[in-house]
Amino acid sequence: MIAVLIAGAVSTLVSLFGTRFLIVFFRERGQGQPILGKEDHGPEHHMTKQGTPTMGGLAIVGAAFVGWVVAHVRDIAFSDQAMIVWIGILSMSGMGFLDDWIKIRKHHNRGIFWKQKNYVTMLMSLALAWWLVSSTGIDESISLVRAGDLGLDVPAFIWIVWAGGIVWATTNAVNVTDGLDGLAGGSALMGFGAFMIIGYWAFRNPDVYDAVVNPLDMGVMAAGFAGACLGFLWWNAAPARIFMGDVGALGIGSALAFLALTLNTHLLLILVCGINVMEAGSVAIQMGVFKASGRTRRLFRMSPIHHHFELTGWPETTVIIRFWLISAICVASALAIFIADYTRVVG
């Protein structure tokens, strides 16, 4: 437990001061976030945020990594599985960084990879899933709260496609959610908190969760990301002084997905990331209705759905807080399902 607390505390402090450094660094260089305007069917009401420093996700991912490393002074072994996960997170963050940098240089909200990025991240997700299967003892069944609980044992290649799809979908869902000050960071904080509890719980109960490889290391990683999101929110809360950018959204999304995969809570991720599912789902529904109607009708005033509620008259802070509450309910429900299953098994 001490290692978990160390990771959370160290990452919070590093993120708090690291984000402040990034704000000053990007401000002095005049490098800020471009906002989509009317010509790109973007949220015109957010044009006042044009020029706000971005790429704050560098502080989140960096602080989480520092917290995770420092926590290993408690004689925790650096596991192969965690190293692969970190390479995956840093790879996704690197993709996001490249896109953010191009946006800033072009002074436009769509980076050069805005169309190709989905295909590239999908290939990366599949490659990382294959690496986990080929190099670690990760369980190759589709699960809800623990390995084998649904009896869905699948061949390795199907699991790779399944796991790759989870990583790809989660990174994109978090990226879609990152549209209001603090919304993505606050909801991710709750998700990482849940995985911190799940990882430590699995570590303390190896007889029930014997299929989880290095659960304490995964719990420490989750604590590191939770602390990093907490420190970042100090500066990202409305009105935001910095945005996380794609470098943060893709890093956070991949981290949540990898934690679900390594802790054998694949389907529980739907609830842990409930707000992200709602946001990404609203985009899919909006596109489906628009195309089905011959490009004449839309279900929402604007998607993702947080913009719809803004356009109905909700202040931005009201949308953020209410969406945080929805996220909290989803995460609490996920933990309730996890604990209920545990009590049923041991009882």
pLDDT digits (tens, 9 = 90+) for 259-273: 999 999 999 999 999
Given a contact cutoff of 8 angstroms between Cβ atoms, the answer to whether 195 and 219 are in contact is yes
pLDDT digits (tens, 9 = 90+) for 24-66: 988 887 666 655 544 544 555 555 566 688 889 999 999 999 9
Residue 126 maps to a domain: yes
- List strand residue ranges (DSSP E) for the chain, in order: 141-142, 152-153
Q: Are strands 141-142 and 152-153 parallel, antiparallel or unpaired?
A: antiparallel
Range of the domain at 120: 2-273
The pLDDT, as a whole number, for residue 28 is 80
- Write down the pTM of the prediction: 0.92
Q: What are phi and psi of 141, to 5 degrees?
A: -115, 160
Q: Say if residue 230's pLDDT is above 80.
A: yes
Residue 159 maps to a domain: yes
The pLDDT, as a whole number, for residue 43 is 55
The domain total for the chain is 1
202 Cβ contact list (under 8 Å, min separation 6): 208, 209, 212, 215, 218, 219, 263
Residue with tokens 């496609």: 161
Amino acid at 119: Y
Tokens of 57: 């996700």
Residue 105 maps to a domain: yes
Residue 326 maps to a domain: no
Amino acid at 263: L
Alpha carbons 42 and 44: distance in angstroms, whole number: 6
Alpha carbons 142 and 162: distance in angstroms, whole number: 8
Residue 252 maps to a domain: yes
Candidates 194, 143, 187; CA nearest to 336 is 194
339 Cβ contact list (under 8 Å, min separation 6): none
Given a contact cutoff of 8 angstroms between Cβ atoms, the answer to whether 265 and 337 are in contact is no
DSSP assignments along 246-285, one per residue: HHHHHHHHHHHHHHHHHTT-TTTHHHHTHHHHHHHHHHHH
Q: Say if residue 104's pLDDT is above 90.
A: no
> At 141, which helix (H) or strand (E)?
strand 141-142
Residue 305 maps to a domain: no
Residue 281 maps to a domain: no
User: Count H helices, E strands: the chain?
Assistant: 12, 2
pLDDT digits (tens, 9 = 90+) for 291-340: 888 787 888 888 899 888 888 889 999 999 999 999 999 999 999 999 99
Candidates 132, 135, 139, 162; CA nearest to 210 is 139
Residue 307 maps to a domain: no
Work out the mean pLDDT of the chain and round it to a whole number. Answer: 89
